[in-house]
Structure 1
């Protein structure tokens, strides 16, 4: 039946009857697009990295010694190190009197001597006496000296001459000790020491 067939419109029939343009014919004749080969493209970043790696080898050449840096450091002058050593030695010598002044233990040795006498420990008493004599020779000018004198005279009997004779001998060999204000105060507060120093100054024997 004719009414089942779709009639073409006049505009469509006119378009189909027109001849094809040369542009459309050329576009229709183009083939499929070609693939781009990225292997042929040069990466500038990769090229710069390759050039730097070539200019800086990972291992030194065979003709250069490995210990070249050590040889260069061994050629440094020894004068600065020697000067530093001399300065350190000088500072150590200057700090020795201060260290000796801080390490005085006269009072401690006097107390240990009194404890050893109280409990009858003869060996400890001898050691404490020896250490007291050594400390007294090194720290006679220390502030601990007058306190150690008081400790020795107040913590032991007057018949115990272990530390007392050492102290009296120190005053006899160093008359200037009596001119120190702290020593004068200790003598005033310690009757036993004052009495023995009086007998020594008078030329009398220390013990009657």
Structure 2
């Protein structure tokens, strides 16, 4: 008779995987490590996630949902002020670099580990980053930016640079310029919106 997973088994697996993947990288972690970290049997693990690729995709989807919840928390106080919301999100990125357990962006990291376009991990990472780019573009439209697409692309470059440099060179490296760079980009593309955002 097959064992019935205990309540919270899936949650335990995802939490353990998040810690392992974040600290060691996705490719470096084997399913046996997940089993050891959670204490679940191999059959239970594979009942919840048929393959490592499925586990990776589920982890990134859940991380995406959690990330957007946090992004909403930091930007909601500035509702109606899109430029200030952009700055608030950049402050959030910059703050993450200062965390002692910061190991880089899981979406950029996972994408770099899996170069195959069809890999579930790469696809989920791409969806998250496209969603962020679209958010920046929408805020650019709200801010009456002259070119919302260009604004979004410039901001994505700042995000990528902040996270990559922050992981390697720390918060006192180039990542420290993230907010100043954001203000310069906003001043170029949405100068009227920036005036109210920085008061």
TM (normalized to structure 1)?
0.25
Structure having the higher Rg: 1
Which structure: greater helix fraction?
A: 2
TM (normalized to structure 2)?
0.26
